[in-house]
Amino acid sequence: MNGMMRTTMTWLGRGTRVTLPLLALLCACSCGPVGPDPSAIADVPSEIDPGTEITVSTPASVDPLLQELDEARLATADELRASHTVEFAPNLGYDPLAATNLDPILNAFFSADNAPKERLSQMGFAIAAGHRFSSFALGYSTIYMEDLPVFISSDMVLEAIYRSHDKILQQLEKKALRPRLKRLLTDVRSSLIDAADRLEPEVASDLNFYLGVAVSLLNGKVDSREPAGVQSFVDAATRAAGIQERVLFGVKRNIDFSQFKPRGHYDGDPELERYFRSMMWLGRIDFRLLETQEDGKQILRRRQVESVIALRRLLDESTFAEYKSIDATISAFVGEHDYMTLPEVDELLTALDAPDGIAAVDDATLAGALVDGQFGEQRIASHVMRRQAGGASTFPLNLSFALFGQRYTVDSHVFSNLVYDRLPTRVVPDPLDVAFAALGNDQALGLLGDELDVEAGYPGELSAVRLLVDEHPEPYWEGSLYTSWLGALRTLSPAAGAPPSDLPAVARSEAWGRRLLNTQLSSWAQLRHNNVLYVKQSYTSNASCEYPDAYVDPYPEFFEAVVRFAERAQELTATLELDPSFGGQIEDYFARVARINLTLAEMARAQRSGQPHNAEHLAFINRAVTASVNCDGTVLGHSGWYSELHFDPLQAVEMDPTITDVHTDIGGDLPVPRKPSVLHVGTGVPRLMVVTVDSCQGPRAYAGVVSAYHEVLEDGLVRLTDEEWKTKVQTDNDLPVVPWLAPLLSE
């Protein structure tokens, strides 16, 4: 050690070329923490803030939609079913087993004794649960190498969009959002330290703590100068330590730390894991301006209102621009806010005519302004709330502010309104709720079973949320990538009444409707998976015809919706402040998506009108998947337009089952005694589908690949990661099958 010290000192005396780096090294070892000094702000012991109980009159609304919603809530189960009955064709009208090319397909994948002929005979198609592929690219390569007639499924397009959306968001977070967030938090912290002596001590202390946890989670460590208590919160978040009661901003509240467990593409990447936890804090830890108590009473939290106003004033023009850049990016991907935002703080002060602050504003006036202006009005019950027996029948939600609050989506809104305490005894929603109400799939209603008859209030509330979603105007469905994706899925939904007569007979059947439901919910699960950090989770014509040996899923509206999704993505990307090279890559990718899906839409429309595909379209199909094959038959790689549908073409061949949690039941004694549970939805590995289509020359058979949809209810506050789910998929050959999907599956 002494020799090392002497050598070091000798180096320092040899000239200037090495002096500065070594001084920097020594400073890094001995100069202590860097950055804003949070210890400059006094840590005020947090006294319990009783707040002020407020009686607030909600302003009367003349919106006729509210009256329609009230009427919808009166619907009975029978009335709801009657108004959403899909009139499926009673039979196929042809013999699927006589389909041209069926034998080569069956011989390629099945032995003589396990071919799914019974399913094919009954339904005109069969999904082979025992014939799985690690990826869609591998599945279609297998079909192409066998020189079989191909069915281009909507599933394959949606899978590519999911993978690309995930990869783009991942790179965007690493290259842009995380660095911007770090700069923003550093700048706001510095402003807080400079302004602390002009703020109420409790407000300065609350903001110092709030920012301290966010900074520490982002850095992955706690600076020794941070306020007392920061380490405890960071430890609980890092451990994902379940529900704990904590005092925050002078008020006791239950915090579900299990939400801080990184999932999706965040899991396994240390940098993104830290970003995930920090944004989860900024997205879920809210300042409750008007808080609902366990007995339904509402309390004005003036101290938290003052903190929000102070936080807004800490952002100068450049820092506010940084905030807006992050917020705009999240909005482009996910959509609307479900909390009060920083710009709305300015609007509140204007409404109060209080540009200098709220010191002179009495509680009643302040609460009235919050309610009248709908500031921080939430639509999704996403926080832990335990209702007292004998309390209000349905809680009003808190009026809250969050710096980067998780977003409102119609599917999460559906879940939130179909469980306790919106319904008296229902504690876990069903993904079929989303299929019916958010995706507009009328067939899903008939699959809900007896629960619709026995659960009090369920039919009426389900009717109301369906009406509410359907009333969203067209701009909503193009407002973000999330809503545009949902909009594309809605085009696949069977509607009440008879299916269009230009659909092939197989696509007018009840079984085919279930196949589409599998497609929709698989893609919805992937959509929620990619946005787990940002989406607020709920708590409780008969012309002559000819078909070649290729068939595209017969839904031109779906492919056209994907084109609009891609075009909207290009527009939104152009508005974001991205590195030109990275932004250009994203725009080029979505241009490819639009071009490819425009061709698929043309082909689907030609099929529906009974027209043959032209030579250009047939050549396009032949370019879908090109596999590079070793002499032993091993697939070395893929090219073709299906690879081009991926932002990262190499990702197309990877095995990528996904899982995401979509609803949390915290358990308890009301409305029925139960333990906590978490509802997950996910995808397994793709499955082979054999489908027959009736043509003027008789039925023809095609081979394609479709998604595998799964649902899992985990006991306790367990939130599965992709790696945990992938292990289950790889090792468990008997994963639970969703009941309504089971009749479609064969070995």
d(CA 567, CA 400): 34
Considering the entire predicted model, what is its pTM? 0.90
| H helix and E strand count, the chain | 29, 18
Q: Give the per-residue pLDDT at 2.
A: 40
What is the predicted pLDDT for the residue at 380?
A: 62
Task: Tell me the C-alpha distance between 134 and 652, whole Å.
Answer: 10
* Per-residue confidence (pLDDT) for residue 292, from 0 to 100: 84
Q: What is the 3-state secondary structure (H, E, C) of 107-132?
A: HHHCCCCCCCHHHHHHHCEEEEEEEE
Query: Which is it for the CA torsion 105, 107, 108, 109, positive or negative?
Result: positive
Q: Provide the pLDDT for residue 24.
A: 42
Cα 213 from Cα 221, distance rounded (Å): 10
The 8 Å CB, 24+ separation contacts for 220-223 are 220/270, 220/274, 223/33, 223/35, 223/38
Contacts of 676 (CB under 8 A, 6+ apart): 243, 664, 665, 666, 667, 715, 716, 717
| Secondary-structure breakdown of the chain: helix, strand, coil percentages, each rounded to the nearest 5 | 50, 15, 35
The pLDDT value given to residue 628: 56
Q: Are 277 and 240 in contact (CB under 8 A)?
A: no
Say how far apart CA 517 and CA 434 lie, in whole Å: 11
Residue 547 neighbours by CB under 8 Å, 6+ apart: 607, 612, 693, 695, 697, 700
Q: Which pLDDT score is estimated for 698?
A: 87
Partners of 401 in the β-ladder: 287, 340
> In whole angstroms, what is the distance from residue 705 CA to residue 131 CA?
10
The 10s digit of each residue's pLDDT in 448-498 is 999 999 999 999 999 999 999 999 999 999 999 999 999 999 999 999 999
3-state SS class at 220: coil
* Mean pLDDT, contiguous 10-residue spans, the chain (747 residues): 35 37 42 80 84 75 79 96 96 96 96 90 96 94 92 98 97 96 98 96 97 98 96 97 94 95 97 98 96 86 97 97 96 91 97 95 95 82 47 66 93 93 90 98 96 95 96 92 97 94 96 98 97 84 48 98 97 91 96 98 94 89 73 57 93 92 91 93 97 90 97 95 95 88 92
Q: In this predicted structure, what is the pLDDT of residue 377?
A: 81
Instruction: Give the pLDDT confidence score for residue 732 in this predicted structure.
Output: 82
Domain map (residue ranges) of the chain: 2-32, 175-408
- Residue 184 and residue 322 in contact, taking contact as beta carbons nearer than 8 Å: yes
